[in-house]
Structure 1
Amino acid sequence: MDLKQLRVFVMVARHGSITRAADAIHLTQSALSLQLKALQKAIGAPLFRRTPRGMELLPSGRALLPHAQAVLAAVDDFDSAVAGLSRQVSGRLRLGTILDPDFLRLGALLGLLLERHPGLHTDVSYGISGGVLSQLFDGQLDLGFYLGVPGDKRLHVMQLTSFRYRVAAPRDWQGRVADADWPQLVQLPWIWTPPESVHHRLLAARFAAQAATPRIVAQVDVESSMLDLVRAGVGLSLLRDTVAQAQHGAGHIALAPPTLDAELTLVCLQRRAAEPAIAAAFALADELWRA
């Protein structure tokens, strides 16, 4: 057996699916299946059972999974120690971003990284807030921006700033929402977002507090699309306060009184926080946001 086979085993166990595991580690399904078969042959015992819902761990798989995870974690720790031997920060840094670059001060951060650490190459990928955490755990990202303060102890978290969300409504709904509170707002049509987004987390808590079920008229995962649908008269959505105020001032939307507080954070895996490239990025983000 080799480390690649162990990584395949852990990813299939995590995702419960050959397809999703293959996507997560950028292998074809056939290549992943061959790796898994080779591991099971080397061990001398089957690890999974195929079911209509996916791949289910057998007792042998459940017994070996924590040991495989420990081996991979030890290898990552060794790689971190090797990287720490070099004084010069270099290599590849994979950064997950969300929202618009100006709000994240992304250009300024990348500029500082290039200026202070010219040997460091940064790959930036855009996604949904909750998706950043999944990609960190799957090893697809080294660090990323996140909306909220995750309570997972496996994560190293730096809070960058606080901000607010406003409830935005179509312009013609001004009379309906000008004095509306949450018991009234939860009765109106809403533009919804996937569970991975901060909008979903914030709104789901509000609807649960009102024991209400949302009237979902559309679902999108990009803030600009939410704004377009609000302006088109489709329903309510959450918008960052600066965006909402600008759109309201221009006469494009109406605003309801309630606000929701949120945090912008920078996150990475706790066990990787001391790696030179990641530590350098956190230090420069702290410098940039505390200035």
Structure 2
Amino acid sequence: MDIQQLRTFVAVAREGSITRASERIHLSQPAVSAHIKAMEETLGLSLFERTPRGMILTGDGERLLARAEQTLGAHRELLEEATRLKGSLTGRLRLGMGCNSGPEALGRLMTGFAERYPQVDVELRHGTSRSIAEGIRNGGLDAGFYNETGEPGDDLNVVDVLRFAIYLAVPPGTVDAKDKPDWQKLAEMPWICPAPDTCCGEAAEALFRRHNFRPTRIISVDREQVTRTLIAGGVGVGLLHAEAARSAEADGEVDLICKAHAAARLVFASLRERDDDPLLQAARSIVTAAD
């Protein structure tokens, strides 16, 4: 039994739901279920009763909950004491940043390191969502912020920073926004899209597959503000994150046709096998404290 399984057990006990627990500890629902099953098999006990209302602790589970919380507290204190014994954090944090990821989250992390750990050098590198994730996996980056439209994989420790929708936007008056989208008509218009390895690029490719069409022309743009300007100027149609989409609609710059993706996420990720790295623990602490 490992410490992550204990965290999962406590989260499910407190939330009473696999779904809510997965959101709280930033694990997929299958991973949460697997942790609970592994604990029950290791202990030889049934910890939860599965009901239509959610997960309810059994008597054995109730008795073990307090012990689990004490163990997690002791583990946290041990790590804090180890950090104090080692003194101030030093070193270099190689941090990736997606092209259209939230600058506010990056600003909070950079400010937090400057205030708490001034001897840590943060090296910032920009890239697409896919290149940031690949950089973390191949060791080129220590951690990174990027936009995610799918599931990142259990090899990454992922913190959800922000959830947002992605909208398909067109120049005002181009099509009737009240009707269902005419995909064949939209296919004949230029599409302003970033590369397929970005969150909006992935959302666009998913639209093309779902509605069985391919635009006759794609204009490659990797900056959302430029995309917004081109749509407003009547150049073509494109995808905007919810905040930019709503702002552009309110300013009369675009009409919003539909949601291209309902639940994209800005995430902060690092390799799960490096969870005990003091620099990454400090970074996650700053990111989660800002949530």
Report the TM-score when normalising by structure 1.
0.63
Q: CA deviation at 1:143?
A: 0.5
User: 1:128: Cα distance to partner?
Assistant: 1.6
Q: Could you tell which deviates more after superposition, 199-208 or 97-106?
A: 97-106
> Alpha carbons of 1:242 and 1:184: their partners in 2 closer, same or farther (altered >3 Å)?
farther
Residue in 2 that maps onto 1:216: 217
| 2:162 equivalent to 1:165 | no
**Superposed displacement of residue 94, structure 1:** 1.3
Matched, 1:117 2:96: no
Alpha-carbon distance in structure 1 between the residues aligned to 2:185 and 2:284? 39
Among 268, 286, 289, the residue aligned to 1:287 = 289
> What amino acid sits opposite 1:105 in the alignment?
A
The answer to whether structure 1 residue 251 and structure 2 residue 252 are counterparts is yes
Number of the residue aligned with 1:42? none
Counterpart residue number, 1:142: 142
Partner of 1:52: none
Name structure 2 gaps, 5 residues minimum. Answer: 1-81
Q: Distance in 2 between matches of 1:117 and 1:146?
A: 23
Unaligned runs of 5+ in 1: 1-82
Deviation at 1:101, TM superposition (A): 7.1
- In the superposition, relative to structure 1, how do residues 163 and 182 fare at CA in structure 2: closer, same or farther (>3 Å)? farther
Tell whether the 8 Å contact from 2:196 to 2:205 is kept in structure 1 after alignment. no
CA distance in 1, matches of 2:230, 2:157: 36
Amino-acid identity (%): 26
Structure 1 match to 2:266? 264
- Does 2:143 correspond to 1:131? no
What amino acid is aligned across from residue 264 of structure 1 in structure 2?
A: L
Instruction: Give distance in 2, aligned partners of 1:182 and 1:199.
Output: 20
Q: Alpha carbons of 1:268 and 1:186: their partners in 2 closer, same or farther (altered >3 Å)? A: farther
Tell me the amino acid that sits aligned with residue 289 of structure 2.
E
| Residue identity in the other structure for 1:278 | L
Indicate the residue corresponding to 1:241 in structure 2: 242
Q: Which runs of 4+ in 1 moved over 4 A?
A: 99-103, 182-186
Partner SS state of residue 212, structure 2? coil
Q: How much has 1:211 moved relative to structure 2? A: 2.1
CA distance in 1, matches of 2:102, 2:137: 27
Counterpart contact for 1:96–1:132, Cα < 8 Å: yes
* Distance 1:99-1:201 versus aligned 2 partners, 3 A rule: same
Matches for 1:170-189 after TM superposition, within 5 Å: 170-173=171-174, 175-181=175-181, 183=183, 187-189=187-189
Q: 1:185–1:271: structure 2 CA closer, same or farther, 3 Å change rule?
A: farther
Deviation at 1:286, TM superposition (A): 0.4
Alignment of 1:70-89 (within 5 A): 86-89=86-89
CA contact 2:95–2:124 (8 Å) conserved in 1: yes
For residues 200-225 of structure 1, the C-alpha deviation after alignment (integer angstroms, 9 at most, x for no partner) is: 21121222122222333311222122
Asked whether the 8 Å contact 2:105–2:161 carries over to 1, the reply is: no
Give the drift of 1:179: 2.6
Task: Give 1:127's aligned amino acid.
Answer: G
Change (3 A) 1:279 1:243: same
* CA distance 1:277–1:182, shift in 2 (3 Å): farther
Cα deviation for residue 90 of structure 1 reads: 1.4
Work out the CA distance in 2 between the residues paired with 1:132 and 1:185.
Answer: 35
Q: Which residue of 2 aligns with 1:154?
A: 155
Alignment root-mean-square deviation, CA:
2.5
Q: How far, CA to CA, are the matches of 1:219 and 1:104 in structure 2?
A: 26
The equivalent of 2:192 in structure 1 is: 191
Query: How far apart are 1:127 and its partner, in Å?
Result: 2.0
User: Using the alignment, how far apart are the partners of 1:236 and 1:114 within structure 2?
Assistant: 41
Match of residue 35 from structure 2: none
How many residues are aligned here?
Answer: 206
CA distance in 2, matches of 1:124, 1:283: 19
Scaled by the length of structure 2, the TM-score of the pair is 0.63
Give a deviation string over 1:161-207, Cα, whole Å, max 9, x none. 2111111111241x444433374675342222212111121121222
